[in-house]
Structure 1
Amino acid sequence: MIRMSWARAASVEETLALWAASLREIKQRIRPLFTQERVATNAGLFLEGLLGDEQRKTGWMRAEAAGDPGPWRQQAILGRGDWDADALRDIVHDYVIEHLADDDAVLVIDETGFLKQGKASCGVARQYTGSAGKITNCQIGVFAAYVSRHGHAFIDRALYLPKEWTDDPDRLEATYVPADVDFATKPKLATRMIARAIAASVPFKWVAGDTVYGVGNIEQQLRRAAKGYVLGVSSAHVFRSWGKRPPVAGTAADLARTRRSSDWKRLSAGAGTKGPRLHDWCYLELADLEAEQSYSANDGLWTRGLLIRRRIADDDLAFFTTWCPAGTAIETLVAVEGHRWAIEDSFETAKNEFGLDHNESRSWHGWHRHVSLVMLAFAMMAAIRHRANPPPPKKTKRRPPAKAKT
């Protein structure tokens, strides 16, 4: 049942024992969510089905793995019963931080698509999804992943509802959308996730996201909270410097064209499946600012900047707005941007191995329950991987030996 590739350093026996102990612990953690023992038992069997070797995690497949004659008990976990998916999300969040916490961690925000047929599934619409690379009939989920040197896992999620849904009370009622849910853009959903992480004192230093999340109030929110960021922006995004020489002003694309060959530096954004992910990078410091005094940790100068990535193969450009403590090296910003790869890897793994996109429920709570259970399964395996493959200790600067007294 366990995928041994998730834990290469430990022996098979050690990993199986760790897996069994972790599953028992997880079931104990989620038990208070359910008022009836049989429902808690079925939730545990649902979780085991997600962790199993079956390629498809449909209700029938999970039922067969659980020894049930049909999918009804599995489906009831998502569609019937009375339990709180947000409470499960909070359990996942606590579990991830307990096992993977690091002060230098990056919170990565991204979205993924869930391809669907028909119009009945909550939030489904013809909309663009990077999962398919086109506009298609799908749901969109916005996620926050916690990425540290110990590993990575999802800690938050939200189903995006297009305006055609929030403007249609009948569709909302048919899919049991709570009455207090209204239209929220994807950046707005992201700000809520970031706010929850900050309120819960999650240890992280940075936030990274693509061009969807480089707009709106996210920048201001992170500045107030003393968090650095590397957020994608479009080529038309306007940047201006002040207090820097020489002054610069213009769109991101215009500024990229003015860069000299010597301004670029070839750096790796992290290890990929085929080795280092090398690109050419350029960093422009635009302004040094006294950070807002909302948080005591915000003392000192912070730098507003523009980070540009150029693909080696075809010179394709990508642009990022940045905010970081003054003196932060370009290598650090590149590494933060490279952490976005972890959430893309997480989406692929969660879909291929844990059935993230195999949800058959059409309701609001069904989507959030299924996704939260998958997040829990993913978090458990991420914790096992960390415990079976501990990272090397952080490097510390060595002090020069003291000179002998004469």
Structure 2
Amino acid sequence: MTRPWHVLATRCNDTATTTGGEDARADELIAALPERAWRRLSVGAGAHGPREYDWARIPIRTGWRPGRGHWLLARRSLSDPTEIAYYLCYGPRRATLLDLGWIAGSRWRIEECFQQAKNEAGLDHYQVRSWRAWYAHITLAMLAHAWLAATKTLAVKGESAHAIRV
């Protein structure tokens, strides 16, 4: 069975198993990296221009499957170098630092989508007491958000909303 690739945010005090087999805190592993391990990368456009950060990674865990790897990834703020976010990563052994940074940065686009759905489609206006009711509400709110996004795109192109086929 193949495990799906992932980049998962984690806390600074979570432990990771090093390639030597010892457990260490994420912040301690990253603090031990030399300054040359950090690379300044842009992981996409933000509301105020490119989202640039300093990024570094360190291999973790032992017994990698053929062609796969595990890393601890760190994202450091340019304006406040003490502000560091940590991620546990699993993916192809050839994954670059930029690949992992782009995947970690995609979280911003997902959060932006949910914020838009809250503002435009009432995603956050539910008071339900069961999983089924919550599931129905979130499904309809996200469907409404998709419809609004599609019609807005068509309006920008000068096309009619009737062009959308369900």
Fold conserved between structures, TM > 0.5: yes
Q: TM-score range by the shorter chain?
A: 0.7 to 0.9
Distance of 1:386 and 1:350 partners within structure 2: 16
**1:260, CA displacement in angstroms?**
1.2
Name the CA distance, whole Å, in 1 between partners of 2:92 and 2:111: 27
Instruction: Give the CA deviation at 1:225.
Output: 3.9
Q: Please report how far the alpha carbon of residue 280 of structure 1 lies from its aligned counterpart in structure 2 after TM superposition.
A: 0.7
Distance 1:387 1:227 in 2: 35
What is the distance in 1 between the residues matched to 2:13 and 2:78? 22
| C-alpha separation in 1, matches of 2:23 and 2:129 | 48
The corresponding residue for 2:72 is 306
- Alignment match, 1:262: 36
Q: Give yes or no for the alignment of 1:274 onto 2:48.
A: yes
* Larger fraction in strand: 2
Given that 1:306 and 1:321 are in contact with CA atoms closer than 8 Å, whether structure 2 keeps it comes out as yes
Q: Deviations over 1:7-59 (max 9, x none)?
A: xxxxxxxxxxxxxxxxxxxxxxxxxxxxxxxxxxxxxxxxxxxxxxxxxxxxx
Q: Which AA in structure 1 matches 2:38?
A: W
Q: 1:356, 1:279 → 2: CA distance?
A: 31
Distance 1:363 1:268 in 2: 42
Equivalent of 2:12 in 235, 240, 246:
235
1:342 to 86, 106, 109: 109
CA 330–374 in structure 1, closer or farther in 2 if over 3 Å, else same: same
For 1:298-347, what per-residue CA distance to the aligned partner results, in whole angstroms no more than 9, with x for missing partners? xx420011101111111211111100111110100000001101121112
- Between structure 1 and structure 2, the one with the greater Rg is 1
Local SS of the residue matching 1:356: coil
Question: 1: CA distance between counterparts of 2:86 and 2:72?
Answer: 7
Aligned residue among 11, 25, 29 for 1:251: 25
2:142 paired residue among 375, 381, 385: 375
SS of the aligned residue for 2:64 comes to: strand
Aligned-residue Cα RMSD (Å) equals 2.6
Give how far 1:351 is off: 1.3
How far off its partner does 1:288 sit? 6.2
Please report how far the alpha carbon of residue 368 of structure 1 lies from its aligned counterpart in structure 2 after TM superposition. Answer: 3.2
User: In 2, are the aligned partners of 1:308 and 1:320 still within 8 Å (CA)?
Assistant: yes
- Cα distance in 2 for partners of 1:362, 1:319 equals 34
Amino acid corresponding to residue 323 of structure 1 in structure 2? Y
Query: Residue 341 of structure 1: SS of its match in structure 2?
Result: helix
State, as a whole percentage, how many aligned pairs show the same letter: 32
Structure 1: stretches of 5+ with no match in the other structure: 1-223, 291-299, 390-406
Aligned to 1:369, what secondary structure does the other structure show?
helix
Residue 64 of structure 2 aligns with which residue?
Answer: 289
Matches within 5 A, 1:105-254: 224-242=1-19, 250-254=24-28
Q: 1:226 to 1:367 in 2, by over 3 A?
A: closer
Question: 2-side partners of 1:326 and 1:374: how far apart?
Answer: 39
Report the CA distance shift for 1:385/1:330 in structure 2 as closer, same or farther (over 3 A): farther
Count of residues paired in the alignment: 154
